[in-house]
Chain A
Amino acid sequence: MEKIDKVHSPFVVLDIDNIDTDQIIPARFLKSTNKSGYGEKLFYDWRYDSKGSLKLDFPLNRNHSNVKILVAGENFGCGSSREHAAWALHDYGFRVIVSTHFADIFKNNALNNGLLPIEVSPEFYEELLEEAKVDSEISLLVDLSKEEVCLMVSGIRESFKINPHKKQCLLKGQNDLDYLIHLKDEIVAFEKSMK
């Protein structure tokens, strides 16, 4: 897994609540048996019209390359457990998603794929929306070690919380499978104790 520590980037805003995983990646694109290549299908039905042309009024299509941060409305990632949603966001180039809160399974899937979900207060979220209206090039600096996100220019910052184990995984680029494989003896002992 790719490490994450500091991310400094402009951001795209999708001010819509309850963005579900069917919007992030529609089910018809889940036929692949690989983990890669989902970025071009990200938000497919919102990004492309029925003829497959880009919809220019969709925020992702207005943006410029190298945007690593997505700011989206509450309950982001609700719905299906498809990890393809996290793979698609990561493959597109996002490394951080900012929302007021995330659906549980999505949050976990993101953390398992080097994609950092940051939960901010509704006030900070509104501030991001306001600032982005004024200047679309405005950027955010995310510092995972310090658990802090800062709006560049105004300097408005907010701290965020992250599961301590997941934080270490992201900083070191390790995943949970590495941890569990080394736990085999304890798991075998646990199985014996259950009987």
Chain B
Amino acid sequence: MMKAQTLFEKIWNRHLVKSVDDKTDVLYIDRHFIHEVTSPQAFDELKQRTISVFRPEQTTATVDHNVPTQKQHLPIQNKESRKQVEKLYENVKEQGIQCFPLLDEKNGIVHVIGPEQGLSRPGMTIVCGDSHTSTHGAFGTIAFGIGTSQVAQVLASQCVLVSRPKTMKISINGILEEHLTPKDVILYIISKLGTDFGTGYFIEYTGEVIDRMSMEGRMTVCNMSIEMGARGGLIAPDEVTINYMREHSKTALTKEELEKWKRLQSDADAKYDIEVSIDADEIDTMLTYGTNPGMAIRVGDSVPTSTGATASKALEYMGINEGKVLEGLPVKYVFIGSCTNGRYEDFAIAADYLKGHKKSNKVTALLVPGSNRVMKQIVDAGLDKVYQEAGFEFRQPGCSACLAMNGDTIPAGEYCVSTSNRNFEGRQGSGARTILASPVLAIIAAIEGKIVNAKTIREWKK
């Protein structure tokens, strides 16, 4: 009888070209995404060796990390950024690779456009030179971030050499309270398990909370797997997945495809190297107080006592004292966007909290849709008006203030409630102080100009 397998093992084994030794595998890659920042050196490597891209039709390019989020119709002001974007356009043209350039209706953040263009499909192996490639795991794929050397490997051979990760199952059981979001779920998990708990593992998320979650929410959860050090995270496809694929696939779903997807489940008696169980009752609105995503607390909790030099350094950087509750902390900047929370649903959830309120005039808000399609959905639903009337304006798509390499930065010393994924020192600009949170906490912070307490959030819409 065949050994019981996890979903991860099934997909991995199906894509295993060969094992180099007992530690290293040659893994075949179905879908490769590239962007302007981590690909130019890989194309150069191929050029130096005078080899062309092996399977250009399996790679898709976008520009997102280093693009302006205003006046995209004008030439990019920063000379180096312009050169980097132009270099990508040249490379994809030369090699016959599909590309969604600036202003294209399909342009946007790589992990937003892959799913919405129907390119990320259940059962696939997916890589990109970006750590948040784990996002695509929401579709029941093995998706992980790679370095530029590996981007070159995929361009040249459609394969990567990788060590096989161990497996972890995280079940999230029970029912989430109405005001809680997938971002609260994943921030809670990381705060509970730690920023390096997942190192060497590939996670499968299961349980009632995941079952009831939309595809967009599942993407938020899988997106941040890397923030606990995991190689990636995936969720078995179900009806929610299939409905999303029906809406987004460019080709009609075949009977064969649907049958194949239904088999993408872990066997009932499959063994994981680690299993973790989380109860939905433990979760409340989450936010970070330190300089890694594991340094997060429920909004009502006080900042934990520092455990050593590293934690003290983080608190000093943040200007936050141990034992303190964050309620009332004044906030001057809010960023809603990124591959974590820059999809339509995120802006729709936030808009729900906006009705009857206005942005505080002390707050500068950056609202950056994950893609042009997301912006179109916002307009089609009339939400752009809701935001406008409340004093907000939208920018054009891009990674923006998530990593602040395009000039969308937060000033030194200022707090920014951000729906992105990393609160590292200087991540949003030198000296900027990032507080990671959900779109709900972010929009309320933009209205109130401060961090509010749990009761306010719970009763906001009543």
Contacts of B159 in A (CB 8 A): 180, 183, 187
Contacts of B51 in A (CB 8 A): 181
Contact check, B424 vs A79: say whether CB atoms are below 8 A apart: yes
- Verify if A101 is at the interface (C-beta below 8 Å from B): yes
Q: Given A103-B196, A163-B23: A186 and B147 within 8 A (CB)?
A: no
Q: Given A33-B84, A81-B130, A165-B24: A18 and B292 within 8 A (CB)?
A: yes
- For residue B84, give the distance in angstroms from its CB to the closest CB of chain A: 6
- Verify if A194 is at the interface (C-beta below 8 Å from B): yes
Which B residues form the contact surface with A (CB < 8 A)? Answer: 14, 17-18, 20-21, 23-24, 26, 28, 37-38, 40-41, 44-45, 49, 51, 54, 65-66, 78, 80-81, 83-84, 87, 129-131, 145-150, 152-153, 156-163, 165, 195-196, 199-200, 226, 229, 231, 292, 308-310, 313, 403-405, 412, 422, 424-427, 430-431
Contacts of A148 in B (CB 8 A): none
Known pairs A177-B156, A180-B159; list 9 more (Cβ under 8 Å).
Answer: A50-B430, A80-B131, A83-B38, A83-B41, A104-B200, A109-B148, A112-B147, A112-B150, A165-B20
Contact check, B426 vs A45: say whether CB atoms are below 8 A apart: yes
Scoring B80, B422, B424 by chain A CB atoms within 10 A of each residue's CB, the highest score goes to B424
Q: Among residues 32 to 51 in chain A, which have CB atoms less than 8 Å away from a CB atom of chain B?
A: 32-35, 45, 50
Contacts of B20 in A (CB 8 A): 165, 179
Q: Given A31-B78, A83-B147: A190 and B28 within 8 A (CB)?
A: yes
Contact check, B149 vs A180: say whether CB atoms are below 8 A apart: no
Q: Given A31-B84, A190-B28: A23 and B148 within 8 A (CB)?
A: no
Contact check, A16 vs B313: say whether CB atoms are below 8 A apart: yes
Query: What are 21 A-to-B residue pairs whose CB atoms are below 8 Å?
Result: A22-B426, A22-B427, A23-B426, A28-B404, A31-B81, A33-B40, A74-B196, A81-B145, A83-B38, A83-B147, A108-B146, A109-B147, A165-B20, A177-B149, A180-B157, A181-B156, A181-B157, A183-B26, A186-B17, A187-B157, A194-B28
Contacts of A34 in B (CB 8 A): 41
- Verify if A27 is at the interface (C-beta below 8 Å from B): yes
Contact check, B199 vs A81: say whether CB atoms are below 8 A apart: no
User: How far, in whole Å, are A56 and B179 apart by their CA atoms in the complex?
Assistant: 48
Scoring B147, B150, B157, B430 by chain A CB atoms within 10 A of each residue's CB, the highest score goes to B147
In the A-B complex, the 7 residue pairs with the closest CB atoms: A33-B40, A109-B147, A83-B147, A31-B80, A112-B149, A27-B405, A81-B145
Contacts of B45 in A (CB 8 A): 177
